[in-house]
Amino acid sequence: DVKVTQSSRYLVKRTGEKVFLECVQDMDHENMFWYRQDPGLGLRLIYFSYDVKMKEKGDIPEGYSVSREKKERFSLILESASTNQTSMYLCASSFPPATVGNTIYFGEGSWLTVV
């Protein structure tokens, strides 16, 4: 089974802190994603990466950055956390789009509260 592991399930951080959310996948997937999930808004893409050291902005990249130094690991960084970044963050991975019928696999999510 594909495993996408998010190292922190629940975090409470203070405004202005630098926050790291880590994600590791074990299926040798090229693509990795960070989504934000908020009630009534569904999943919104923050950043995605299609290869090591490659990244592209999603729909809501402001206030976030990412790092992908190794294929299996994709980190989301909040440079200076703010209360409006309180949310559930979902990491996901998949094979490239050219793979017929590929599927995106999710981690369990990281609940971040910024106080």
Partner 1 sequence: AQTVTQSQPEMSVQEAETVTLSCTYDTSESDYYLFWYKQPPSRQMILVIRQEAYKQQNATENRFSVNFQKAAKSFSLKISDSQLGDAAMYFCAYRDTSGTYKYIFGTGTRLKVLA
Looking at residue 15, the DSSP 8-state letter turns out to be T
Site string for partner 1, 14-53 (x = CB under 8 A): -----------------x-x-x----xxxx-x--x-x---
Among 7, 17, 67, 106, binds partner 1 (CB under 8 A): 106
Q: How far is the CB of 30 from partner 1 (least distance, A)?
A: 9
The tokens of 62 are what? Answer: 């402001």
Contacts with partner 1 in 74-103 (CB under 8 A)?
90, 96-98, 101, 103
For residues 74-87, b (16+ Cβ closer than 10 Å) or e, as one string?
bbbebeebeeebeb
In angstroms, the CA 81 to CA 86 distance is 9
Q: Which is nearer to partner 1, 31 or 85 (CB)?
A: 31
In order of 31, 62, 91, the CA distances from 57 in angstroms are 13, 9, 15
Residues that bind partner 1 (CB under 8 A): 31, 33, 35, 40-43, 45, 48, 50, 56, 58, 90, 96-98, 101, 103-109
